[in-house]
Structure 1
Amino acid sequence: MVYRRFFRRRKKSPRTKHQLHRSNRNKFSRRILRKISKYTNYRFSKRATQTFMNHENKKRKICVTLINRANYGRLKSVMTAIKNHPDLELQVICGSAMLIYNYGNAIDVVERDGFKVDEKIFMHVAGETPMTMAKSVGMGMIEFPAAYDRLKPDIVMVNADRYETLAIAASASYMNIPVAHQLGGECTGTIDDYVRHAVTKLSDIHFAAHTKAAERVVMMGEDPSRVYVTGNPSLDVIHESQSNVTNQQFWEKYGGKGGGVNIDEPFLLSIFHPVTTDYGKNRTNAEALLSAVDELEIPTIMLWPNNDAGSDEIAKAMRVRFDQGNMENLHFIRNLAIEDYLTLMARSSAVIGNSSSGIMEAGFLGVPCVNIGNRQEGREQTHNVINVEPNKEKIIEAIKQSIEKKSYPKDPLFGDGKSGKRIADILATIPLMRPKIYFEASDETKKSYVDLVEREVKQRMTTE
């Protein structure tokens, strides 16, 4: 009895989720070797097999490239999840507007948040015209391959539809590095659509914000098994943490130029970016917005535009307004940390302009949004949005309606605020296959896939 108790087999402790991930990857790797042996009649030695398995079991290096402040806001929670994941190693490249003072030098925010920047890519050609945008892409195509050659990432992560992402995805693809694309499948009716859909075709793994976007990605010939509905990761920051900055702390931190705005009292938040297909008209459209704000006499915080073609037109309208001294209810800021930006949004009476954050993030917060012009035309919209043309009178009327409404129910169309961890888990376990095969989906397959995704999303929302 004593000996039996002594030699009794010990109970195995339950394996963690990450141990199971590694085990599944090992099984997949062995399956690959067996198939190669079967079709080539080549017998792998134990040493060769072990070398292959060791390569598969090493930490995957995920290279995230940041090219402007909004880009960082959409990737921050993913970067945090990758950094904390036991099977992943985070690499960070900062380029384009992230390194430019006029656009807030947002690399400083990244480093303050505790992320190590591995490479800096100077690719922005000044001028903010269609020609300089095209030249910037060319500069990126020269610089990114050298960075990838030094870093040797296993996966390159890109976000959405900025022109810089075209250079990132094309460079990685030519170097046989799998590309993971976030927020593909959206439609906005501007030049961004061309870039977004081109990047989808250059990508191997797809993280869509909602089911309609996922359906579009599949219809472009992408394998449904590599298309995931994960939501918009910028909502994670809303879900997890917003800053509790006071009015005094906020202005000590950011300064800016213009009149006094108390963020503890009613105010408007304005984000107005250039529309590349309306090049030459952006200043007129910006002046219509500024005139509407003047007439309403409501305190307004306005952020500096991004670096797309036409940015100088909007900046000129803002500078003229500042030089005229008519800034009693208007304040300009170059850049905000994502937490402070979302805090401002949550406290504001309405978001006005043409940024996608007025639809995605403001919709999730239930803050009214006045969407001006055609920059977001075609994008799925939340209930908080009023669409208007860039006309002073129409903008004034829409702002009045929004302020009167005060708030909307939170809309989860673009996610539930838990996207970052989902994406990191997928990046850690998904098989890395190249080249990819065009997926010819029938109408029935597309419909069944979308139905499946919708069921999965509803189930996840209820369980989490």
Structure 2
Amino acid sequence: MGGYKMIRVGVLTSSRADFGIYLPLLKALQKEEAFHLELIVFGTHLSKFHGYTVEQIEREGFKIAKRIESLLLGDTPSAIASAYGLTALKFAEYWQENEQSFDVVFALGDRFEMAAAVAASIPFGIEIAHLHGGETTLGAIDNIYRHSISLASQLHFVAAEPFAKRLKQLLDDEKASIYNVGSLSLENLKNIDFLSVEAFKNKWQIDLNIKTILVTVHPETVAYQKNLAYCEETIKALEQLANEFQIVITMPNADTAGMVFREAFETLAKKQQSIKIIENFGTQSYFTCMKYAKLMVGNTSSGIVEAASFQKYVLNLGDRQKDRLCGENVIHVPFNHDLIVKNTLEYATKEYNGENIYFKSNPSEIIIQILKKEYASIS
């Protein structure tokens, strides 16, 4: 008697950021008997320098099918380009050995190492499903990587309708399989068991009863030569704000010139007791900190996508997220210490009462139903 075949799903995860977004989908796939799930782990997940976040994946109960080490510690343009090439080379070997192993492989976002893994899959005809395509960040070279992943993908799950329209233009294909499912990361917020203030303090030695600003600043990778000046302005602002707020800083990703910010934050934390540095919170603790913080400051996508669901205002610094679709809670501020301080003092006292433009109900369930329609043919 015939039946539906098992759908073989691979997931490419290269950083704490993409894993946190994937999480509700991974849990949903794991529960479904129709799917065989395998995680392919690489990038900063395997770097002790960046918190060795592969352990977070294992703590969440997921089996890792393959670990691929290709990240270089340097953050110069040459090191990033070399890491891209090495990642593509190692994935060429992996895809050759596994080209018949998956019905579909998920890729998320816009990291250079993610783009390299997908680029290596093209000659092998691997079916790629891309999450968060169609978006634009003009202040980061990630913009190029994101579009290249989209061009190599067969399925597209976007976070808002404007991204679907842009993707149709990019792909130049009116029949492209593009689905607006909203942001997966917002589904996380529905399922997370947030830590209490006391539990958070016990875990991180950080008291969220104190007025707290959550800071995540990544380097700008288009005009990367300007990062030293941007960093100096950020440090001046944080030094001043540390007299009134507790500052919790999560460290930047492995990007061009990322060490400029890392070293400056470490030096500042040694001088200012009210400044705390965290390499990797994990999903639960990061969103717990966001929940209790008065304001977010930086240029991270979590400020653009998730903060509105916590009724938080966000100071979006510089051009890294330039031209990204933003809600009314996002306040754009240049890397100028006086303006950073001024706007922090103003918006840390306010609560955002608007909607989250990235929200849709149950995106993981929508994706699962689409996968079944696309791949669960009669055996």
Task: Give the TM-score of the pair, scaled to structure 2.
Answer: 0.93
In 1, the alpha carbon distance for the partners of 2:28 and 2:49 equals 30
Name which one, 1 or 2, has greater alpha-carbon Rg. Answer: 1
Q: Measure, in 1, the Cα distance between the counterparts of 2:358 and 2:155.
A: 19
Partners of 2:6 and 2:376 within 8 A in 1: no
Instruction: Say whether 1:420 aligns with 2:360.
Output: no
1:208–1:230 Cα contact (<8 Å) kept: yes
After TM superposition, list the pairs within 5 Å mapping 1:335-374 onto structure 2: 335-374=280-319
Is 1:238 aligned to 2:182, yes or no?
A: no
Unaligned regions of 5+ residues in structure 1, if any? Answer: 1-49, 256-260, 434-464
Distance 2:369 2:29 in 1: 8
2:142 aligned residue: 192
> Which residue matches 1:67?
14
Deviation, structure 1 residue 177:
1.3
Q: Distance in 2 between matches of 1:198 and 1:133?
A: 17
Where structure 2 has 5 or more consecutive residues not aligned to the other structure, the ranges are none
Task: Give the Cα–Cα distance (whole angstroms) in 2 for the partners of residues 223 and 120 of structure 1.
Answer: 37
2:261 to 314, 322, 345: 314
One-letter amino acid of the counterpart of residue 395, structure 1: I
Partners of 1:239 and 1:417 within 8 A in 2:
no
| Counterparts of 1:410 and 1:111, CA distance in 2 | 36
1:149 Cα deviation after fit: 4.2
Q: Does 1:87 align with 2:34?
A: yes
C-alpha offsets along residues 388-427 of structure 1, whole Å, 9 cap, x if unaligned?
Answer: 110100100111121132x112523112352122112212
Aligned partners of 1:184 and 1:208 also within 8 Å: yes
Structure 1 runs of 4+ with >4 Å offset: none
Distance apart, 1:283 and its partner CA: 3.2
Q: Cα offset for 1:194?
A: 0.9
**Structure 1 pair 262–253 and aligned structure 2 pair: CA distance change class (3 A):** closer
Work out whether residues 7 and 375 of structure 2, in 8 Å CA contact, stay in contact via their aligned partners in 1: no
Mark the CA change 1:222 to 1:181 in structure 2 (over 3 Å): closer, same or farther: farther
Q: Where do residues 119-198 of structure 1 align in structure 2 (5 Å cutoff)? A: 119-151=66-98, 152-189=101-138, 190-198=140-148
Give the AA of the match of 1:97.
Answer: T
2:154 is equivalent to residue 204 of structure 1 = yes
Amino acid in structure 2 at the alignment position of 1:127? G
Q: Which residue of 2 aligns with 1:4?
A: none
Counterpart of 1:391 (choices 332, 336, 352) is 336
Equivalent of 1:218 in 165, 168, 172:
168
Indicate the percent of aligned positions where both proteins have the same amino acid: 26
- 1:269: how far off? 0.2
Contact 2:294 2:349 in 1 (8 A): no
Structure with more helix by fraction: 1
Where does residue 377 of structure 1 map in the other structure? 322
Deviation per residue, 1:291-337 (Å, 9 max, x gap): 21221221110011100111111112123324xx4222100000011
The alignment of Structure 1 onto Structure 2 pairs a total of residues equal to 371
Q: Which position in structure 2 is the counterpart of 1:250?
A: 200
CA distance in structure 2 between the aligned counterparts of 1:410 and 1:118, rounded to whole angstroms = 42
Larger displacement relative to structure 2 (170-179 or 267-276): 170-179
Superposition TM-score, scaled by structure 1 size: 0.76
CA distance in 2, matches of 1:305, 1:145: 28
Q: 1:250-296: per-residue Cα shift (whole Å, max 9, x none)?
A: 344346xxxxx411332000000111113232233223222212212
- What's the C-alpha RMSD, in Å, of the aligned pairs? 1.9
Aligned to 1:38: none
Tell whether the 8 Å contact from 1:78 to 1:420 is kept in structure 2 after alignment. yes
Indicate if the aligned counterparts of 2:15 and 2:43 stay in contact, CA closer than 8 A.
yes
2:64 counterpart SS class: coil
AA aligned opposite 1:427: L
Alpha-carbon offset, residue 432 of structure 1: 9.3
421-430 or 94-103: bigger deviation: 421-430
CA distance in 2, matches of 1:289, 1:179: 38
1:88–1:428: 8 Å Cα contact kept in structure 2?
no
Higher alpha-carbon deviation: 150-159 or 208-217: 150-159
Structure 1 residue identity aligned to 2:283: I
CA contact (8 A) 1:243 1:339 kept: yes
Offset, 1:185: 0.3
| 2:7–2:376 Cα contact (<8 Å) kept | no
Question: 1:210 touches 1:229 (CA, 8 Å); kept in 2?
Answer: yes
Q: Distance in 1 between matches of 2:352 and 2:107?
A: 32
- SS in structure 2 at match of 1:313: helix
Check the 8 A contact 2:137/2:322 in 1, yes or no. yes
Could you tell me which residue of structure 1 aligns to residue 209 of structure 2?
264
- Pair 1:277 & 2:277 matched: no
Name which of structure 1's ranges 104-113 and 164-173 shifts more when overlaid on structure 2. 164-173
Secondary structure, counterpart of 2:189 in structure 1:
helix
Aligned counterparts of 1:224 and 1:338: Cα–Cα separation in 2: 36
Match of 2:180 among 229, 236, 241: 229
Alpha-carbon distance in 2 for matches of 1:251, 1:305: 23
